[in-house]
Structure 1
C-alpha cells in the first residue's frame, strides 16, 4: 500500500504532480495528522516571510522601575520597632515586585529565544527542502538522464533516474509493503562487490522520493530490508536491483 503520508512536505512546497496533488488532497480531508503537519509547515513558511519577526523582549530595568512606581510604598518611621517593621514590609514588597517582574521578563526571554530557534530551524528546513526539490528537478531534466524501473516481487515499484554528468540520481519508491516493526528499507549504490549506503527510509514507510549523491561510476542501485538504524552492508538479498548506467 502506498504511504501517502510522506507527501505532506512536497504538497506544501508544490513539488507534486497533478495526480499526487489530487490524491493527497482527498487524503487530507480525512487524515487529521497530515492536516496538522500541513498547517504547521504553511505557518512556518508564512513566518519566514514576515519582516517584523524577531522583536526582543523589553528591557528589564525599565520594567522593574515601572513596577516599583505602581507599588504602594509605606514610609518607615523615625525609629522604634514599628518604624523598622514598616520599613521591612516596604522593602519586602518592592523586592517581591521587582523579583516578579524579573521572573516574568526572564520567562518571556526564554520563550522568545525558543521561538527564534524554532523559526531558524524552520528556515533551515524549508531552505534545504527547496534546494533538494530543485536538485531533483535538475536530475530529471538532465540531458544524460538514464531511467530504470523495476517491480518488487512482493508488490510496488522502484524507479531510478541517474545523471552521470551531475553525479546525482533520484530514487522513487512506491507501493512497497510497510516493513514490520524494527525493520526499514535501505538504499544502496553498488560498484563491483562494494555497496555504499544511499539512505534509509523512515520507519513505517514504503514510499519515498530520495535524492542520490555519487552515482557516477556506480553500476547498480538496490533496495534491501534492514534492521532499524541501517546496516554497514546489505544483510539480505536486494528486493530489486537496477542498473544505474
Structure 2
C-alpha cells in the first residue's frame, strides 16, 4: 500500500500509541525528520497518552503476578507451525491496544481467582477506560488544543471531528476546596454555555461529545454537584474552532 504525503500528516495519533504497521511506521518516521509540525504533534500526543495512563492507573491486587503466571502456565499455546494469515485491518490496532489487552488479561485472572466483586468492577473499568483512550488517540484526525490558566495549570483537549468528540485532560489544577468541583462547558457561536460534565478529580480525563458548532471549551469552579450556568471568570478556556 502506497502512503502519500497527505496521508502521513494524519498518522501522528496512531504513531504516538504504536498503532502503525511496519510499512506505515517506516514511512512516517522518514516523514518526521522533515516535518516539524508532525514531530511536535507526536511529542504532545505521546505525553497525553502517558498522562492518561497515570490517570487510570491503580495498584495491582496482592498476589496478582503469581496468579497471572499460574494461569499462563495452564493455558495452551498455539503451535509455532500453525498457519496464521495476518489480517491487515487488525494489525493496525494491535500496538495501540496491547496495554489494554494486558489489563483485560489481569481482569480475567483476578475474576477467576479472587471473586472480589468490588475489585473486579474496578479492574474492568480501568481496562475499558484504557482501551477507549488508546483507540481515541489513534483516530487519524485527532488534533491537540492546549490551554493555560493564570495560576499555571494547563489543559489539553484531543479533538476528533470524525467522532464528534474531544478528550479533556488537566494538569496542575489547584485543589477546588471543600464543597467545590471543576466543571467543563462547551460554547458555540451563540455564546451560550452548555455543561459538558464534572471532573471527578483534578487529573481525571473527561470525554466531551457533540462538538458540532462548538467553538470553545471552558473550565470553571462550581459548587459540588455542578451548576446550570458557569461561575465566571473561567479557570481556563480553549478555542476549538
State the TM-score bracket (shorter-chain normalisation).
0.5 to 0.7
User: What is the CA distance between 1:145 and its match in structure 2?
Assistant: 1.9
User: What is the CA distance between 1:133 and its match in structure 2?
Assistant: 2.2
Distance 2:110 2:143 in 1: 42
Please list every run of 5 or more consecutive structure 1 residues that lacks an aligned counterpart in the other structure: 1-14, 25-33, 54-114
For residues 24-71 of structure 1, the C-alpha deviation after alignment (integer angstroms, 9 at most, x for no partner) is: 9xxxxxxxxx9xx61449869857426756xxxxxxxxxxxxxxxxxx
1:17 aligns with 2:50: yes
* Corresponding residue to 2:109 among 30, 37, 49: 49
Number of residue-to-residue matches in the alignment: 153
Give the secondary-structure state (helix, strand or coil) at the position aligned to 1:187. strand
* Corresponding residue to 2:136 among 111, 136, 139: 139
Alpha-carbon distance change, 218 to 42 in structure 1, aligned in 2, over 3 angstroms: farther
- TM (norm. structure 1) is 0.51
Matches within 5 A, 1:197-236: 197-202=195-200, 205-236=201-232
Distance 2:215 2:51 in 1: 33
CA contact (8 A) 2:182 2:219 kept: yes
User: Over aligned residue pairs, what C-alpha RMSD do you find?
Assistant: 3.5
User: What is the CA distance between 1:20 and its match in structure 2?
Assistant: 7.4
Aligned position for 1:12: none
Runs (4 or more) in structure 1 with deviation over 6 Å come to 18-21
User: What is the CA distance between 1:124 and its match in structure 2?
Assistant: 4.2
Distance 2:122 2:111 in 1: 19
1:149 aligns with 2:165: no
Distance 1:213 1:41 in 2: 37
User: What is the CA distance between 1:236 and its match in structure 2?
Assistant: 2.0
1:188 aligns with 2:189: no
Higher helix residue share: 1
CA contact (8 A) 1:139 1:162 kept: no
1:244 aligns with 2:240: yes
- TM (norm. structure 2) is 0.52
Distance 2:166 2:173 in 1: 20
Alpha-carbon distance change, 216 to 145 in structure 1, aligned in 2, over 3 angstroms: farther
User: What is the CA distance between 1:19 and its match in structure 2?
Assistant: 11
| Larger Rg belongs to | 1
